[in-house]
Amino acid sequence: MKKSAQRIWGGRFSAGPAEAVKAFTESVSFDWRLYKHDIAGSIAHAKGLVKVGLLTGAEAAKIERGLRAIEREIESGKFKWDHDCEDVHMNIETALIRKIGAVGKKLHTGRSRNDQVATDIRLWLISKIRSGAHEIQNLQKALVALAEKECDTVIPGYTHLQRAQPVLLAHHLLAYVEMFSRDAERFADCAKRANLCPLGAGAIAGSTLKLDRAYVAKLLGFAGVTQNSMDAVSDRDFIVEFHAAAALTGAHLSRLAEDTILWSSTEFGFITIADAYTTGSSLMPQKKNPDIAELARGKTARLYGNLVQALTLIKSLPLTYNRDLQEDKAPLFKSADTLLSTLHIVAEMMRHIHVNHVKCEAAASDPMLLATDLVDFLVKKGMAFRDAHHAVGSLVSEAEQTHSSLPKVATKKYGPAAGKIFDVRRALTARTAIGAPSPKNVKAQIARWKKLLA
């Protein structure tokens, strides 16, 4: 084992770990992604040490210059990550000592890798939540734009994947805008709990050195500091919350993808996805496959799996830090990458959707969609709802058995006024309750969302 790596923690040991152990325990192959936040945390920590008299201003300045130089090397691709140094923290600290000498050895004063990594992950996660909020809003804007463009297009609404009642396509799209709004709120809520600084908690029990934790937290932009040193170094609830929010967002993306897949099929034919967001078949030349939507649906499985992995990881850990927690990062990074890329590509796909109005109009003209409106008509005439429901059910059966239309048998039974019920535009206009899909309501909701997302 290299001396530079051995010196970090090796005073207690007569020999370094076996090569197989080093390969098994290293995490720098994936936690290098924390480098920017690790460096930011180290600079703030150094300034905190100056404030309490454990470093001089000159020493802290030298440390910061060294860390900034390392950061530039990493970003330019010149930095050589050393697996012998185990993780991102030790790689940067070892490089710092090599670069500036003995002063670099003072940086870890009053700090453990336990509170250091907890701080890095929180900073990294908060930044990803901000990116996620942007991507969610980007998708919402794409859906609202399509809704505004298609605010007069009528389609069947479905329950049990069977035609149910007519709705405006815009109303259907805005349902997803509502879903993604709740997702954004969940991520924001997660960020609140992640926004506490663990630095100063040490390995488990703080430090006998008098550290100014609040000062360092402020430098790093945290809202405050953690209140229990044992919880601070072992808490990964905020990671589980992120996975849970990501999984639920994935569910919503999957549902949107499923509607897109169904609507683009020949059987529905409601929409056409732009060629740039589809693929072909290696065998069947006529095929145009909705692969982007299918992959968005499929990648949700990753998000679910990572949530279960995170929950399983922490479920039996005794307080406080255990090396098991090294395994929290890889799935977290994968979930963030999967979520952000999926949100982005789905938004782009939705911006390139063509609506086939003839197919939509034909499907929405099915008079069976207005059977419930006929029930309401009879209720207004004084009939009890259950009796009206039964009566209209009988008319539906009669229409099917006689190969007639529901408007025709309704007119025969209840007169011309009943036949006039089967006007889809009238039916939609009559749906004026809050949240219902009348054209007036939908246009108001489009205007509301445009304002909220501006």
Cα→Cα distances 263→155, 275, 351, Å: 10, 15, 15
User: In one letter, which amino acid is 418?
Assistant: A
Catalytic residue set: 160, 281
Q: Give the model's pLDDT for residue 15.
A: 66
CA 265, distance to chain mean position in Å, is: 27
Q: Is 82 strand, coil or helix?
A: coil
What the block records as the tokens of 245 is: 């929010």
CB atoms under 10 Å from CB of 227, counted, come to 9
The dihedral formed by the CA atoms of 409, 414, 419 and 420, expressed in degrees to the nearest 10? -170
| DSSP conformational letter for 319 | S
Q: Give the model's pLDDT for residue 12.
A: 67
**Cβ contact 198:157 at 8 Å:** no
Which residue do the tokens 């499929």 mark?
298
Q: Give the model's pLDDT for residue 5.
A: 45
d(CA 54, CA 31): 29
Q: Give the model's pLDDT for residue 4.
A: 42
φ and ψ at residue 405, rounded to 5 degrees: -100, 150
The one-digit pLDDT tens for each residue of the chain (454 residues) are 344 444 565 666 666 778 899 889 999 999 999 999 999 999 999 999 999 999 999 999 999 999 999 999 999 999 999 999 999 999 999 999 999 999 999 999 999 999 999 999 999 999 999 999 999 999 999 999 999 999 999 999 999 999 999 999 999 999 999 999 999 999 999 999 999 999 999 999 999 999 999 999 999 999 999 999 999 999 999 999 999 999 999 999 999 999 999 999 999 999 999 999 999 989 999 999 999 999 999 999 999 999 999 999 999 999 999 999 999 999 999 999 999 999 999 999 999 999 999 999 999 999 999 999 999 999 999 999 999 999 999 999 999 999 999 999 999 999 999 999 999 999 999 999 999 999 999 999 999 999 999 9
Q: Give the model's pLDDT for residue 2.
A: 44
Cα(first)–Cα(last) distance of the chain, in Å?
A: 56
Residues in the chain: 454
The dihedral formed by the CA atoms of 308, 310, 313 and 319, expressed in degrees to the nearest 10? -140
The number of CA neighbours under 13 Å toward the Cβ of 437 is 24
Question: What's the burial of 52, exposed, middle or buried (CB within 10 Å: 0-12/13-18/19+)?
Answer: middle
The answer to whether the bond into 342 is cis (omega within 30° of 0) is no
Q: Give the model's pLDDT for residue 8.
A: 62
What the block records as the tokens of 78 is: 């010149």
**Cβ contact 368:163 at 8 Å:** yes
d(CA 384, CA 387): 5
d(CA 245, CA 183): 7
